């Protein structure tokens, strides 16, 4: 059942991105690539109280009788891809940046419960709470809804030096 849920979660995410691509979303190409790659990365199920391996991400929350007791008591973890959608509770892997907050239903929060992460190009717009990889500098700040509303200067422009 757990493997089927993972398969259907990936299938539904892929279907979401295909639908989004047909709707001409501004970031369609990167999201479509992430959806295509998503299915090729096999996640591992662990209990929520276990430590996520270093530089791995949380893909989704679920229920597993093996983990004892409560709703969404386990998580699927895996190595990241670029770009990727991960749960907001994930640590951001070394060398990755956060470019957007999104609502992905399998990440245990209502609204803005997920992050879009990627390996940055030489020039990138990132959320202000994103780690800044070694070799990059902040060249500007601005405000955008894409990283959460109501917070001034919540975006950075970073550039490789």
Task: Give 1-9's long-range contacts (Cβ < 8 A, gap of 24+).
Answer: 2/45, 2/62, 2/64, 5/62, 6/43, 6/45, 6/60, 6/76, 9/59, 9/60, 9/76, 9/106
pLDDT tens-digit series, residues 125-161: 999 999 999 999 999 999 999 998 778 899 999 999 9
pLDDT tens-digit series, residues 6-25: 443 443 333 333 333 333 33
pLDDT tens-digit series, residues 64-94: 999 987 788 899 999 999 999 999 989 999 9
pLDDT tens-digit series, residues 37-68: 554 568 999 999 999 999 999 999 888 999 98
Question: What does the alpha-carbon distance between residue 59 and residue 16 come to, in Å, rounded to a whole number?
Answer: 16
pLDDT of residue 100: 94
DSSP letter for each residue of the chain? -HHHHHHHHHHHHHHHHHHHHHTT-TTHHHHHHHHHHHTTS--EEEETTSPPPTT-EEEEEE--GGG-SSTT-EEEEE---SSEEEETTSPPPTT-EEEEEE--TTSSSSSS-EEEEE---SEEEEETTS---TTEEEEEEE--GGG-TT-TT-EEEEEE-
């Amino acid at each position: 059942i757990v493997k089927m849920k993972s398969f259907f979660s990936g299938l539904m995410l892929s279907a979401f991105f295909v639908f989004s691509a047909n709707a001409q979303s501004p970031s369609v190409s990167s999201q479509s690539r992430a959806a295509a790659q998503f299915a090729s990365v096999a996640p591992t199920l662990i209990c929520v109280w276990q430590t996520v391996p270093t530089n791995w991400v949380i893909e989704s929350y679920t229920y597993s009788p093996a983990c004892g007791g409560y709703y969404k008591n386990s998580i699927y973890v895996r190595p990241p891809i670029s770009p990727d959608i991960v749960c907001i509770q994930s640590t951001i892997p070394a060398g990755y940046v956060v470019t957007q907050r999104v609502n992905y239903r399998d990440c245990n929060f209502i609204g803005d419960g997920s992050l879009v992460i990627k390996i940055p190009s030489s020039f990138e717009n990132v959320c202000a709470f994103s780690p800044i990889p070694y070799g990059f500098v902040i060249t500007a700040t601005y405000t955008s809804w894409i990283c959460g509303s109501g917070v001034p200067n919540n975006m950075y422009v970073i550039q490789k030096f």
